[in-house]
Amino acid sequence: MLPEQLQQAIKKLPEESQLVIQAIVAFYESKVQQLEARIKELEDQASKNSRNSSKPPSSDEFDKPAPKSQRQKTGRKAGGQNGHGGANLKMAENPNVEERYKVEVCACCQKSLRRQKADFIESRQVYDLPPLELIITEHQAEVKRCSCGHVNRAGFPAGVNHYVQYGPNIKSLLVYMQDYQLLPYERTKEFVQDIFGHQLSTGTLYNIRQHAFEQLATFEERLKALLTIAVVAGFDEAGIRITAQRLWLHSCPTAQHAYYEAHAKRGQVAMDDIGILPNFEGIAIHDFWKSYYHYNCGHGLCNAHLLRELAFIKGRFKQGWADELAGLLLKMKAAKERAVAQGKLSLSPATLSRYRRLYDAIVQKGLNANPFKPPPGRKRGRDKKTKPRNLIERFRDYAGDVLRFLYDFKVPFDNNFSERDIRMMKVKQKISGCFRSFDGAKFFARIRSFIVTARKQNVNVFKALRNLFMDNSIAFQLTSTQVC
């Protein structure tokens, strides 16, 4: 609206001039409204960081927020607590090597003590590595011609198939360094050169990883079949770079398994191609990516994501209900943890009813604080709502999925176990950069599935990889239904 004096001055002008000025004012008022809406949108974006949204910590740059944990204070000091046993080197009962140092003469009178028996032995032990070197074993098979003319050849050991080849130990070490410790090809070659004095080619490293990938084909099939019958599974996805393209790494972990697959798409097309969710009948834990709701399984929302969004609403829009709802979710989480610690399988109906009433009351408070009125005259498209309104409607419409962790103790409070499993992909990209081919991404995804599954089942990763290049029996053990 123009100031009153300016409006009076315009009224004194001829009618044609008034119409022109009114049209100009209306035009610029519309522009101002658009710019104000855009400024608000940009301010909302600038207000988001890793503490109040799903943005990664690396995006905080120089405006990194002060650390703020959602854990309740316990009053204990940081570090080891009283009674903590600690860990240090201990004397081994059966050392691998013993070195005896004798006393030959008395340091005082120079008398010979060579034949005198020691009063006692004082021992010290040193933990160290043996000299690291590649051991080249030549397998020689005899060839004998019988008097009947038949040529007889002795058999080589299993796995010795080529004129010159690498053995299972060095192969498993190379895969371990690349797909578990996340070293790129060049640094892996430098590692072998520095430690063993042996030079490798990039093609050799690629071929070894390809062999591991092919050995794990049956493992992947069994793993996917096993995940479809899991009671609870997490689902997540993260962007990956393959050459100059942005693709997606999808993950599906449980308490004892982890599956990864690279795909060009993020949504339902990829999920259908992967084939787990279309056949999944358990409870899927995720971050409200709408593609997951195309599947008729149970759903549980990640409350860690919701807590961050509530923190954003509180900080940006100064709405008290967001803080109340965050506090209530944490109280519910603590109540469940206490019940689990006491060996209970569920909370009492009275407790559940009380928490639900508190939840509904705060949600209604949030709805009242953010009334929605569709703009007049709009006929097509979805009406745009404010961020607080969108969030509070999610709490209203998906209350069952938000609170599923409270009613079903098998369901976790958040999807952090999925994010932990997929976080290494971001570390991989920081160390090695993008993948140079889609094959490289597929190799990493399948081998990483095997490695993380082995870790979750307390299987030594190096030994599991070594077994992979021998009889490959461990791959079947890791995907047995007995550990589902």
pTM above 0.85, yes or no: no
Which CA distances in Å does 203 have to 139, 158, 167, 199, 200? 25, 24, 17, 12, 8
Cα–Cα distance measured from residue 446 to residue 250, given in angstroms and rounded to the nearest whole number: 12
Domain regions of the chain by residue span:
212-301+435-483, 306-373+384-407
Q: Which long-range contacts (CB under 8 A, 24 or more apart) does 111-119 make?
A: none
Cα–Cα distance measured from residue 389 to residue 406, given in angstroms and rounded to the nearest whole number: 24
Q: ∠ at Cα 209 (208, 211), nearest 5°? A: 65
Find all residues with CB under 8 Å of 96, minimum gap 6, and list them. Answer: none
273 in helix, strand or coil? helix
Find all residues with CB under 8 Å of 216, minimum gap 6, and list them. Answer: 446, 447, 449, 450, 468, 475
Cα–Cα distance measured from residue 444 to residue 180, given in angstroms and rounded to the nearest whole number: 9
Taking only the tens of pLDDT, the chain with its 484 residues reads 667 777 777 777 787 777 877 788 788 778 887 787 788 777 767 676 666 666 666 565 556 656 555 566 667 777 777 777 777 888 999 999 999 999 999 999 999 999 999 999 999 999 999 888 999 999 999 999 999 999 999 999 988 999 999 999 999 999 999 999 999 999 999 999 999 999 999 999 999 999 999 999 999 999 999 999 999 999 999 998 888 888 999 999 999 999 999 999 999 999 999 999 999 999 999 999 999 999 999 999 999 999 999 999 998 889 999 999 999 999 999 999 999 999 999 999 999 999 999 999 999 999 999 998 776 666 666 667 888 999 999 999 999 999 999 999 999 999 999 988 888 888 888 887 788 889 999 999 999 999 999 999 999 999 999 999 998 888 889 998 654 4
Cα–Cα distance measured from residue 234 to residue 254, given in angstroms and rounded to the nearest whole number: 6
Q: ∠ at Cα 349 (343, 351), nearest 5°? A: 80
Cα–Cα distance measured from residue 333 to residue 303, given in angstroms and rounded to the nearest whole number: 10
Residue 293 dihedral angles phi and psi, to the nearest 5°: -80, 5
Cα–Cα distance measured from residue 109 to residue 77, given in angstroms and rounded to the nearest whole number: 57
Please provide the DSSP assignment of 385-434 as one string: --HHHHHHHHHHHTHHHHSHHHH-TTS-SSSHHHHHHHHHHHHHHHHH-S
In eight-state DSSP terms, residue 126 is: -
Find all residues with CB under 8 Å of 103, minimum gap 6, and list them. Answer: 113, 118
